Amino acid sequence: MTGLFLLLLWLPMMQTKFHVFKLVELKGAYLSPSNISFNFKNWFEGSYVTQKEEFIRYNFGFRAYLVRLYNQNRFWLFKTTIPGLAVGKENFLYEEKYIDAYYGSDFVGEDNIQKRVGLLKELQDTLKEKGVFIFVTLAPGKGSFYPEYFPERLKRQKQTTNYERYIKDCKSAGVHVLDLKSYFLSLKSSSRYPLFPRCGMHWSSYGEFIAYDSLAHYVEKETGKSLPTLRLDSLQLTDKPRSRDYDAAEAMNLITTLCKDSLAYPFFTVMDSGKAKLFFLNIGDSYYCKMYVDYTPLVFKQHDFWYYFSTMYSPIRTDRKVDEVNLKEEILKHDIICLMYTDANLGTFGSGFIEKALQEFKSGKK
């Protein structure tokens, strides 16, 4: 008995030093404190003890497993999870901001939206004269797609939403808009495969393919340009989620698998790849991230992604910040500009791009 006790006492120390057991790392965004070397200065300042203690706390043996065990018990007993993530009926997972967006709790006001849409129409007309086509893509959120699984504690009275005002004002003002939210809702009852995964934060890989196909056809229709086509050849069905289809559950850091739904993964062929390709820019949120990697390079000659109009991602240059470049010059490099935002991020729609771009063109800067 004493030997077993000593083994349990020494095991975490052995794991810390020698990594005897291979453990699955914790998922999510967290920073592991850096180690600190001893010297008299940091000892007498008190920083050595504080930082060393923090480093050991984050790096002791079996920490990842014990965190998962703690999270698992909280989930089993209280359905408690990480901040900002809600567990709905049948273990549907939601970022709470998508529930807020469904109910209109994040509504920014009619005047605010009407003003921004007016500026966007002005920018649209300005860019048209320069040969640039700009349009809005309103992506569906998981909350607006699956409100029937909301947890009871987060249900409330529905009010006017940002989406409702944006779609109405964009159409009234003549702003080019692709409404993927209403399109996805029209497919909900007939789709053979999930368009949103139960344990993911974004649309499913299958839903993403449908969304991108719709986006490409919209660009063809509005510009009169013929783009390469992604022909769907087959779908692979599996109950093991891939890519982002399990990212919400992964962030919970549990021991057990939360859900095993049958999900579809598309396999496709690029047709008419010899067609003239255009220069494409997307500005928006994380709903576009995988499209940037998986689809856009196959359809457009050059493609850039300005994440929340902050970081500029491009396959031909290192990442930059938008305030480091000549904005007007960068805009005019593209034939097509898309502003893609899901409903939960419409409170900050455009992320300042619309106002900043208009300012650049009005200033007369080269």
> In this predicted model, what pLDDT tens digit does every residue of 175-196 receive, in sequence order?
999 999 999 999 999 999 999 9
pLDDT at 234: 94
Q: What phi and psi, each to the nearest 5 degrees, are found at residue 271?
A: -105, 150
The band of 362, judged by pLDDT with boundaries at 50, 70 and 90, is confident
Residue by residue, what is the 3-state secondary structure of the chain? Answer: CHHHHHHHHHHHHHHHHHCCCCCCCCCCCCCCCCCCCCCHHHHHHCHHHHHHHHHHHHHCCCHHHHHHHHHHHHHHHHCCCCCCEEECHHHCEEEHHHHHHHHCCCCCCHHHHHHHHHHHHHHHHHHHHCCCEEEEEEECCHHHHCHHHCCHHHCCCCCCCHHHHHHHHHHHHCCCEEEHHHHHHHHCCCCCCCCCCCCCCCCCHHHHHHHHHHHHHHHHHHHCCCCCEEEEEEEEEECCCCHHHHHHHHHHCCCCCCCCCCEEEEEEEEECCCCCCCEEEEEECHHHHHHHHHCHHHHCCEEEEEECCCEEEECCEEEEEHHHCCHHHHHCCCCEEEEEEEHHHHHHCCCCHHHHHHHHHHHCCC
Taking CA atoms, 115 is separated from 41, 236, 302, 307, in Å, by 57, 46, 32, 23
Query: 124: closest CA among 138, 113, 111, 135?
Result: 135
Cβ atoms 141, 101 nearer than 8 A: yes
The band of 364, judged by pLDDT with boundaries at 50, 70 and 90, is low
pLDDT at 55: 63
Mean pLDDT of 30-36: 65
Mean pLDDT of 213-233: 93
Name which residue leads in pLDDT, 260 or 210.
210
The band of 366, judged by pLDDT with boundaries at 50, 70 and 90, is low
Mean pLDDT of 24-38: 66
Q: What phi and psi, each to the nearest 5 degrees, are found at residue 317?
A: -150, 165
Q: Per-residue pLDDT tens for 302-355?
A: 899 999 999 999 887 788 998 899 999 999 999 999 999 999 999 999 999 999
Q: Per-residue pLDDT tens for 86-95?
A: 999 999 999 9
pLDDT at 7: 52
Percent of the chain at pLDDT exceeding 70:
82
Name which residue leads in pLDDT, 318 or 201.
201
pLDDT at 233: 93
The band of 216, judged by pLDDT with boundaries at 50, 70 and 90, is very high
Judge whether residue 5 has pLDDT over 60: no
pTM, whole model, 2 decimals? 0.85
The band of 267, judged by pLDDT with boundaries at 50, 70 and 90, is very high
Q: Per-residue pLDDT tens for 35-82?
A: 667 676 766 667 666 775 666 666 665 667 677 777 778 878 878 788
The band of 259, judged by pLDDT with boundaries at 50, 70 and 90, is confident
Judge whether residue 14 has pLDDT over 90: no
Sign of torsion over alpha carbons 108, 112, 114, 120: negative
What is the average pLDDT value for the chain, to the nearest integer?
A: 87
pLDDT at 60: 62
- HSE-up (13 A, CA, CB side) for residue 121: 14
Query: 346: closest CA among 100, 63, 95?
Result: 100
In angstroms, rounded to a whole number, what is the distance separating the alpha carbons of residues 127 and 110?
26
Domain residue ranges of the chain, discontinuous segments joined by +: 2-61, 85-363
Judge whether residue 280 has pLDDT over 60: yes
pLDDT at 327: 93
Q: What phi and psi, each to the nearest 5 degrees, are found at residue 237?
A: -100, 135
